[in-house]
Chain A
Amino acid sequence: MPERPKIVLIGCAHSAGVALEELKSGAQRLPAHVEWVSIPCGGTLDELHILRAFESGAEQVMVLACYDGACRSVEGNKWAEKRVSAARALLEEAGIAGWRLAFHHIAPSMPLDLLRWIEEFREPAVAQEQPESSDREAKA
């Protein structure tokens, strides 16, 4: 079975982090190729978090932040979404296809949705699997 590409999840501790705890309490866990990075709020997300995840070998990065109205810092989720957009544009400039960076709103009660997103995140990656140089050529 081919090795799955490394996925880094960067998520708010108050929503995504709790959903992950829910997973564990249900005796489930993240797939082995998925790495979890907790941040205290979506508003603390920095495009450097995303860039360095890719630099560290991640093939795909998923950012998880609260729904509108659920952020403890009021607008942290909106800042996270903005920064994901900025980071996606920069990644595309660097020759990394934009689909490799995903954003989802999440609530603590959505651990199974998270697993589904991870699965779906993988499927397009397999369907569009190309050498990285192809991404660059496509951009050029």
Chain B
Amino acid sequence: MPLDRKAVAHIATLARIKVPESDLDLMAKELDAIIHWVEQLGEVDTSKVEPMTGAVRVTLPRRKDEITDGNCRDKILANAPEQAHGFFLVPKVVE
């Protein structure tokens, strides 16, 4: 799939970013140029390579499954754009 205006509109929806109709063509052109540039990786033979998923290959540490934090509702809500009765307030999602 070339990164055309239809593809940009699709990924913009996935990413929840509104892109005005009038910007789709320019954006498709810019993004397609970047994707075209990264496609040079196709030259590299990676058939025998394991993907590297992090900067360090370590097993993640484990700790006891116990509560170490909490009881800070007001701190969490302190930055909310809108709140009521100890909850975040959002537009109605269920009709």
Does A pair with B?
A: no
**B residues near A, CB below 8 A?**
none
